């Protein structure tokens, strides 16, 4: 039997269930395939940072597979709609009788996979799908009453209960080399034209080895203090593994296993830094779970449907100032410039800038969600949507609408000496620790830095009123 292994957001050889099973079943060899779908990527708001990261990782994957004599071929399809036909043609050309893949959960991806499965079955070929992106499948997790969880804490409790009881699902050893099958791998393009913008390969090296090295360094040196350091953007206190998890260069299982190893196997007790980090991995699982149970969040709809009626603002000038990091609120601007320059933003800042856009400017969270997706190297629909809806108070577990971060307080608290602000807003580098959070009129006159674009006291009243007037606002 010969098998086709279709890589998508699982760009790795190690701990890859579909690859492991394809390799075990296919006595006549495995052919790997990746689909370059540029128009679909653009429609999904992928930006140049993410596309560059994906392509470099596909190249690294191709090299790793070549060492196992597994050729990686590319199919080019503008959109997902063309993928089923192209995959089948490939399967026929190389006499592949089976297709192996790991599940994806977004609405368009699910539709594409249903079409591929139907077509392959129609043509007498089998399709084998595995769980990989998450540690526990959504259908394992229901409340006592058989309902979907909509709140994180009980979800986490149940999740931990199952994982403690069953342990981590085992994945076999790294696949062994197969005999040569006489098919040459395709060259992976360095870039595709529409996505030739800003890229930072220096910050985000590709490949499993680079990802594993980052994970090992984090677990060896920083995980112990994670609970204390993770909220301070000037400190290298988090793992910065999100891009690798988003495209599957690293699996959630590998991360959890490394954390458990550093905590004598304990999941929710023991070292505080480790358990706090594990909690973040579970947040990632939770947002994927929500995508499956409530697919409307994939389609621009709020989780709390009544918040559909909020009179969001669409002020292009203010939005442009926010995107450019020129709002006159230094901590917000530092975060937005970190995003523009590095393709990544610290979690504390993601919350601060998202709250500022939605609660101080009262601009539609979907504008912010889209801008993030277009610029993040770790752009991921589930986590991005979850984070934005949390900040806008439209989602699961959302911050209550009356809880609004004060950017100034956040700045004092999490960047007390202003060193993060100075790094990304060099115009303010000469100001004292006191002034850098909130430059006064006098210091501004000499600097090329804007005055605050909004008076927060006024918008706060307006936003509170808009939320209070929502019909049935307590329901979900
Ligand atoms: C408005 C907003 C938008 C966001 N957009 C994205 C996105 O597009 N892609 C993305 O991966 N994360 C997103 N997040 C979640 C979080 O900010 C990032 O995952 C985190 O900052 C990545 O840094 P790290 O790898 O150092 O995380 P660590 O703190 O080291 O955490 C480890 C891993 O856990 C996961 N994780 C951590 N925090 C969260 C969280 N709050 N929600 C879901 N997963 C989490 C990530 O995979 C992360 O790599 C968003 C958060 C907000 C508030």
Residue 264, pLDDT above cutoff 60: yes
- Is residue 424 domain-resident? yes
What does the pLDDT read at residue 338?
A: 98
Same domain, yes or no, for 115 and 137?
no
Same domain, yes or no, for 216 and 332?
no
Between 169 and 47, the more confident residue is 47
Query: Computed over its alpha carbons, how large is the radius of gyration of the chain?
Result: 23
Same domain, yes or no, for 283 and 154?
yes
The residue among 244, 261, 293 that closes a domain is 293
What does the pLDDT read at residue 446?
A: 81
Assign 472 a pLDDT band (cuts: 50, 70, 90).
Answer: low
Average of pLDDT values for 170-177? 84
In what helix (H) or strand (E) does residue 297 lie, and over which residues does it extend?
A: none
Burial environment of residue 252 by CB neighbours within 10 A (0 to 12, 13 to 18, 19 or more) = buried
Comparing C-alpha atoms, which of 273, 423, 278 is closest to residue 338? 423
Query: What CATH number corresponds to the domain at position 246?
Result: 1.25.40.80
Is the distance from the beta carbon of residue 233 to the nearest atom of ligand 1 less than 6 Å? no
Domain count, the chain: 3
Query: Of all protein residues, whose CA lies closest to atom 5 belonging to ligand 1?
Result: 384
Comparing C-alpha atoms, which of 245, 186, 243 is closest to residue 34? 186
The answer to which of 20-29, 41-50, 115-124, 184-193 has the lowest mean pLDDT is 184-193
Report how far residue 306's alpha carbon sits from residue 294's, in angstroms, rounded to the nearest whole number: 15
What does the pLDDT read at residue 75?
A: 97
- Is residue 180 domain-resident? no
Query: Taking the CB of residue 466, how many other CB atoms lie within 10 A of it?
Result: 17
Average of pLDDT values for 80-86? 98
State the DSSP code for 16. -
- Is residue 178 domain-resident? no
Which three-class secondary structure state does DSSP give residue 433?
Answer: coil
Residue 397, pLDDT above cutoff 80: no
Q: Which two tokens stand for residue 87?
A: 């995959």
Q: Is 365 a catalytic residue?
A: yes
Average of pLDDT values for 96-110? 98
What does the pLDDT read at residue 189?
A: 93
Report how far residue 1's alpha carbon sits from residue 97's, in angstroms, rounded to the nearest whole number: 7
Same domain, yes or no, for 405 and 331?
yes
Interval 284-326: pLDDT, tens: 999 999 999 999 999 999 999 999 999 999 999 999 999 999 9
Residue 476, pLDDT above cutoff 50: no
- Is residue 147 domain-resident? yes
Assign 447 a pLDDT band (cuts: 50, 70, 90).
Answer: confident
Average of pLDDT values for 229-242? 97
What are the b/e assignments for 155-184, b being 16+ CB within 10 Å?
bbebbbeebeeeeeeebeeebeeeeeeeee
Is the distance from the beta carbon of residue 3 to the nearest atom of ligand 1 less than 6 Å? no
Average of pLDDT values for 321-349? 98
Q: Is 263 a catalytic residue?
A: no
Please report, for residues 283, 347, 350, 379, 450, the alpha-carbon distance to residue 383 in angstroms, rounded to integers and kept in the order given: 8, 11, 12, 8, 32
Is the distance from the beta carbon of residue 135 to the nearest atom of ligand 1 less than 6 Å? no
Same domain, yes or no, for 141 and 100?
no
Q: What ligand 1 atom has the least distance to the C-alpha of 243?
A: 11
The residue among 131, 153, 179 that closes a domain is 131
Residue 474, pLDDT above cutoff 80: no
Which residues on adjacent β-strands are paired with residue 7? Answer: 34
Interval 1-57: pLDDT, tens: 999 999 999 999 999 999 999 999 999 999 999 999 999 999 999 999 999 999 999
Q: Is 283 a catalytic residue?
A: yes
Between 196 and 251, the more confident residue is 251
Is the distance from the beta carbon of residue 380 to the nearest atom of ligand 1 less than 6 Å? yes
Q: How far is CA 424 from the centre of its chain?
A: 23
- Give just the sign of the alpha carbon dihedral 199, 191, 195, 73: negative
State the DSSP code for 222. I
- Is residue 193 domain-resident? no
Average of pLDDT values for 344-367? 97
- Is residue 82 domain-resident? yes
Residue 475, pLDDT above cutoff 70: no
Residue 471, pLDDT above cutoff 90: no
Is the distance from the beta carbon of residue 351 to the nearest atom of ligand 1 less than 6 Å? yes
Q: Are 17 and 130 spatial neighbours (Cβ–Cβ below 8 Å)?
A: yes
- Is residue 197 domain-resident? no
Same domain, yes or no, for 228 and 310?
no
Same domain, yes or no, for 155 and 165?
yes
Same domain, yes or no, for 103 and 152?
no
Query: What range does the domain containing 161 cover?
Result: 133-170+208-293
Q: State the residue for tokens 């008076």.
A: 455
Angle between helices 252-261 and 272-293 (to 10 degrees): 160
Same domain, yes or no, for 255 and 106?
no
How big is the CA angle at 201 (ends 199 and 203), to the nearest 5 degrees? 105
Q: Are 93 and 181 spatial neighbours (Cβ–Cβ below 8 Å)?
A: no
Average of pLDDT values for 208-216? 98
Query: Of all protein residues, whose CA lies closest to atom 20 belonging to ligand 1?
Result: 347
- Is residue 8 domain-resident? yes
Same domain, yes or no, for 94 and 230?
no
Query: What CATH number corresponds to the domain at position 62?
Result: 3.40.50.620
The residue among 84, 108, 131 that closes a domain is 131
Please report, for residues 124, 153, 290, 297, 301, the alpha-carbon distance to residue 396 in angstroms, rounded to integers and kept in the order given: 42, 11, 8, 10, 12
Query: What CATH number corresponds to the domain at position 414?
Result: 1.10.579.10
Residue 254, pLDDT above cutoff 80: yes
Residue 188, pLDDT above cutoff 80: yes
Same domain, yes or no, for 313 and 276?
no
Q: Tell me, in angstroms, the distance from the centre of ligand 1 to residue 431's CA.
A: 31
Catalytic residue selected from 69, 97, 312, 427: 312
What does the pLDDT read at residue 459?
A: 86
Which three-class secondary structure state does DSSP give residue 30?
Answer: strand
Average of pLDDT values for 116-124? 98
Q: Which two tokens stand for residue 197?
A: 């913008």
What does the pLDDT read at residue 473?
A: 56
381-385: long-range pairs with CB below 8 Å, 24+: 381/44, 381/106, 381/291, 381/298, 382/105, 382/106, 382/284, 382/287, 382/288, 382/290, 382/291, 383/242, 383/246, 383/283, 383/284, 383/287, 385/287, 385/291, 385/297, 385/298
Report how far residue 244's alpha carbon sits from residue 218's, in angstroms, rounded to the nearest whole number: 14
Mean pLDDT of the chain: 95
Comparing C-alpha atoms, which of 366, 255, 385 is closest to residue 319? 366
The answer to which of 172-176, 250-254, 288-292, 373-377 has the lowest mean pLDDT is 172-176
What does the pLDDT read at residue 196?
A: 81
Q: Which two tokens stand for residue 74?
A: 């590319």
How many residues in total does the chain contain? 476
Same domain, yes or no, for 310 and 455?
yes
């Amino acid at each position: 039997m010969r098998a086709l292994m279709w890589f998508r957001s699982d760009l790795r050889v190690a701990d890859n269930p579909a690859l492991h099973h394809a390799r075990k079943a296919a006595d006549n060899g495995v052919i790997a395939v990746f689909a370059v779908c540029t128009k679909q990527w653009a429609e999904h708001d992928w930006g140049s940072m993410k596309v560059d990261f994906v392509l470099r990782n596909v190249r690294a994957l191709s090299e790793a597979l070549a060492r196992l004599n597994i050729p990686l071929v590319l199919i080019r399809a503008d959109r997902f709609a063309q993928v089923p036909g192209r995959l089948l043609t490939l399967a026929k050309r190389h006499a592949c009788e089976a297709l192996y893949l790991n599940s994806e959960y977004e609405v368009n991806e699910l539709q594409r996979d249903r079409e591929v499965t139907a077509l392959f079955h129609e043509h007498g070929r089998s399709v084998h799908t595995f769980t990989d992106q998450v540690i526990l499948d959504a259908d394992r997790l229901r409340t006592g009453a058989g309902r979907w969880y909509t709140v994180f804490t009980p979800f986490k409790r149940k999740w931990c209960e199952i994982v403690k009881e069953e342990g981590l699902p085992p994945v076999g050893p790294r696949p062994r080399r197969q005999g040569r099958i006489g098919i040459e791998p395709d060259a992976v393009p360095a870039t595709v034209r529409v996505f030739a913008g800003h890229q930072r390969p220096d910050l985000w090296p590709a490949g499993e080895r680079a990802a594993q090295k980052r994970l090992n360094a984090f677990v060896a040196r920083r995980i112990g203090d994670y609970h204390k350091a993770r909220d301070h953007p000037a400190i290298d206190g988090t793992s910065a593994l999100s891009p690798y998890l988003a495209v599957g260069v690293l699996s959630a299982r590998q991360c959890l296993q490394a954390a458990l190893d550093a905590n004598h196997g304990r999941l929710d007790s023991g070292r505080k830094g480790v358990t706090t980090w594990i909690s973040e991995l579970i947040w990632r699982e939770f947002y994927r779970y929500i995508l499956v149970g409530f697919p409307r969040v994939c389609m621009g709809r709020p989780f709390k449907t009544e918040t559909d009626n909020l009179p969001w603002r669409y002020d292009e000038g203010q939005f442009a100032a926010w995107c450019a990091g020129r709002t006159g609120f230094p901590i917000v601007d530092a975060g937005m410039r970190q995003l523009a320059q590095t393709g990544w933003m610290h979690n504390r800042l993601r919350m601060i800038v998202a709250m500022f856009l939605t609660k101080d400017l009262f601009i539609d969270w979907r504008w912010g969600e889209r801008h993030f997706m277009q610029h993040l190297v770790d752009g991921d629909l589930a986590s991005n949507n979850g984070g934005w809806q949390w900040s806008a108070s439209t989602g699961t577990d959302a911050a209550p609408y009356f809880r609004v971060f004060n950017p100034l307080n956040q700045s004092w608290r999490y960047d007390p000496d202003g060193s993060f602000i100075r790094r990304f807003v060099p115009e303010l580098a000469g100001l004292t620790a006191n002034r850098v959070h909130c430059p006064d009129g006098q210091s501004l006159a000499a600097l090329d830095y804007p005055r605050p674009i909004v008076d927060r006291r006024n918008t706060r009243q307006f936003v509170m009123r808009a939320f209070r007037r929502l019909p049935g606002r307590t329901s979900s």
